[in-house]
Chain A
């Protein structure tokens, strides 16, 4: 049985400056498990993609001046698993399978590559996406960190 050794919950307004804030917060939090530079880079990248998706897509139907929230929940387990859940209460995704296809993007004029989900999938160990139209989207990612060399636990 694995058990949780630490947990962090963050709520950030869905504005683009918080993409970097989310990355910094998660880096600081995961540091406790002493990840390799590569592992930390992978987590930062996957988080950046998921948070950006929420900021760019989730709340585009909101009236001008209203700002939605992005919720980030991170758990560290004694098995060296890092689980990251990123959710929003936005418009939802009509067809998740289609949205996850590379180069599929509904963001106009933002010049994004449409590769967000592919990047999340490639740089983490598991990815699941749940979405309900008009209710929001939740992305759950897990990363299993390599064990530390003997004597460094």
Chain B
């Protein structure tokens, strides 16, 4: 199963997530994204959720963790393509108040 498609653009690392995100899948996604993040050192990490049919709070952990990694490299994280229920989860978590993640 393909978990994500990762592309480099001029200024960003674009990660299109392609699976249900739970504790099981988050582990592999995290490893894959972190490796590319370190190799590429982009200014921006874009996490695109438009191909994610389901996510639980492990998805929140995934965003918060990447925000920490990106910040340490001087990059910021943009989250896009969220469904209404995914937005609801993100609002509950207070990720928006971290200041390092832009929710589109």
From residue B95, how far is it (CB to closest CB) to chain A in Å? Answer: 9
Contacts of B26 in A (CB 8 A): 111
A48 with B22: CB separation less than 8 A = yes
Interface of B is mostly: helix
Chain B residues within 8 Å of chain A by Cβ, number: 21
Known: A19-B24, A111-B30. A52 touches B58 (CB 8 A): yes
B92 with A49: CB separation less than 8 A = no
0/1 interface trace, chain A 99-138, chain B, CB 8 Å (1 if under)? 0000000000011110110110010000000000000000
Contacts of B24 in A (CB 8 A): 16-17, 19-20
From residue B21, how far is it (CB to closest CB) to chain A in Å? Answer: 10
From residue B92, how far is it (CB to closest CB) to chain A in Å? Answer: 6
Q: How many A-B residue pairs have CB under 8 A?
A: 64
Contacts of A20 in B (CB 8 A): 20, 22, 24-25
B85 with A112: CB separation less than 8 A = no
Q: Measured between alpha carbons, how far is A122 from B90 in the docked complex, in Å?
A: 13
A49 with B56: CB separation less than 8 A = yes
Chain A interface residues (CB < 8 Å from chain B): 16-17, 19-20, 23, 38, 41-42, 44-45, 48-49, 52, 55-56, 110-113, 115-116, 118-119, 122
A-B interface, 9 closest residue pairs, ranked by CB to CB distance from nearest: A16-B24, A113-B60, A48-B56, A113-B61, A115-B57, A111-B65, A112-B61, A52-B23, A111-B61
